[in-house]
Amino acid sequence: MGLLGHIPFETIGVAVFALSGALMAARKGMDPFGFALLATVTGVGGGTLRDLLIGTRPVFWVGDPSDVLVCLLVAEVVFALGPRRVAVMEGGKRGRALLWADALGLALFAIVGTGKAVAAGVPALSAVALGTITATFGGIIRDIFAGTTPLVLRQEIYVTAAALGAAVMVGLQASGVGPFPSAAAGFLAAFGLRALAILRGWSLPAFPPRD
């Protein structure tokens, strides 16, 4: 991936998603093991499924466990902060920090997953799908483990943001734009759409429920 390969976007994304997992554990009042579990499955879940689908062996965190250590460190730091400091970090609005940490992780993992898929030589549409999976699967596992309806099953503009970022990155690279500028544009597209959805309350239309 050229210059992009020298920047630890995956580790940054793992740390940010681990933070979202730890914040969810804080909201649910979990013990240190719960913090570690939610942070880890959130941080490495999407990348694990991506690597399995494209046949990467070993899976990224198996070959280099440093990302798991990052998850554990983030989890225990958040637990050590205690309820008051975590509440301050969330800015006085319950779940607000969780939403923004998740949005940042979503955008980072969208470009990381897409970049790895492109490097593996998969078709463009498959690369977009793998980037979207990388960006969303960790959050799905987090929410299921926490007993919360996953964001992807609500009306939230979530998967759409990840898919947009991945598609922008793939489209620009196909047009001859370099890996780093296309990744930057993909990140901005994914994060920008998700941020607008959070700030303005945008959501997708839902099918009317049946009795």
- Kindly list the averaged pLDDT for each block of 10 residues, start to end, along the chain of length 211: 57 91 92 96 95 93 94 96 78 67 92 94 96 95 91 81 97 94 96 94 80 63
pTM of the entire predicted model: 0.87
Can you give the pLDDT at residue 9? Answer: 80
Can you give the pLDDT at residue 95? Answer: 55
For 4-8, the CB contacts below 8 A with 24+ separation are 4/115, 4/179, 4/180, 4/183, 5/179
Can you give the pLDDT at residue 66? Answer: 94
HSE-CB at 171 with a 13 A cutoff on CA atoms is 9
Give the residue ranges of DSSP H helices in 120-158.
124-145
Can you give the pLDDT at residue 3? Answer: 41
